[in-house]
């Protein structure tokens, strides 16, 4: 996924639902790896709420707190139905994973058929390369190489990242690959692209490749998936009208009170 969160902004609920559906389990065990952003408690809490209310059995591995919260890494990860990798620094993510052997465990999980999902750095890490802002400015960085090619995320919400990606593909410093918008994603079965998803209007995915020394973008057909509840910022018209009516009545009451006392205007 090019960008995703565990809240009610447009498209995020639909992607959570799709992850649960793809697990093919009624109560999937899903583990969050929030390494790329430093294992923040707030993100873990939102993840647990989002998937807990969907009937999942959520857990997390906080590598930054293993001393206080020890866990058998391989046994826990290989017991999951879904492993979700959140965003942050791609460079830091892979360095910390290698130090703990997580990269080898994830390859084993992938080969065993466990569903692996991720957004931003957690999406690019599976490819040969991605466009990271780990050092501030967008730059090419290596991934785990489970999947051939490259990926760039936040494709139109962070246009400077897209520019660097197109230049890198054109120059051959990054292999051909995919550009992914926020709330859009790709599904791979093994190493084969199986489907694309768009969870909000305007979100898409593109093949990016070099032709005659120039980078070309080709849209990929996506399945539209939508939130079951109205996202934040997309309030139904009847609720908006009700609020306006209540606000008008409140204003009238305030006006009546203000006009009744001496010296008030």
| Residue 76 is among the residues annotated as catalytic for this protein | no
Mind giving me the DSSP string for 155-192?
Answer: TTTSHHHHHHHHHHHHHTSS-SEEEE-TTEEEEEETTE
Report d(CA 58, CA 47) in Å as an integer. Answer: 8
Report d(CA 187, CA 175) in Å as an integer. Answer: 19
| Kind and range of the H or E run holding 108 | helix 102-111
Catalytic residue among 120, 150, 152, 198: 120
Catalytic residue among 4, 89, 134, 154: 154
Neighbours of 99 (CB within 10 A): 10
Q: Which residues contact 201 (CB under 8 A, 6 or more apart)?
A: 10
| Residue 100 is among the residues annotated as catalytic for this protein | no
Which residues are known to be catalytic?
120, 154
């Amino acid at each position: 996924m090019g960008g995703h969160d565990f809240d009610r902004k447009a498209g995020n609920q639909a992607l959570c639902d799709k992850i649960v559906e793809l697990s093919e389990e009624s109560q999937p065990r899903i583990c969050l790896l929030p390494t790329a952003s430093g294992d923040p408690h707030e993100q873990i809490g939102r993840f647990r709420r989002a998937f807990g209310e969907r009937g999942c059995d959520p857990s997390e591995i906080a590598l930054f707190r293993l001393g206080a919260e020890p866990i058998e890494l391989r046994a826990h990860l290989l017991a999951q139905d879904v492993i979700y990798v959140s965003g942050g620094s791609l460079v830091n993510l892979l360095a910390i994973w290698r130090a703990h052997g997580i990269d080898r465990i994830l390859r084993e999980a992938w080969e065993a058929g466990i569903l692996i999902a991720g957004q931003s750095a957690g999406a690019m890490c599976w490819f040969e390369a991605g466009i990271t802002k780990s050092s501030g400015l967008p730059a090419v960085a290596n991934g785990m190489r489970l999947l051939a090619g490259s990926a760039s995320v936040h494709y139109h919400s962070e246009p400077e990242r897209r520019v660097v990606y197109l230049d890198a593909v054109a120059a051959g410093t990054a292999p051909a690959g995919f550009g992914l918008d926020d709330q859009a994603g790709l599904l791979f079965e093994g190493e084969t692209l199986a489907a694309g998803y768009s969870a909000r209007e305007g979100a898409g995915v593109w093949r990016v490749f070099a032709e005659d020394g120039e980078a070309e973008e080709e849209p990929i057909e996506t399945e539209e998936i939508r939130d079951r509840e109205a996202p934040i910022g997309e309030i139904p018209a009847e609720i908006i009208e009700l609020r306006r009516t209540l606000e008008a009545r409140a204003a009238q009451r305030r006006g009546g009170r203000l006009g009744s006392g001496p010296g008030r205007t």
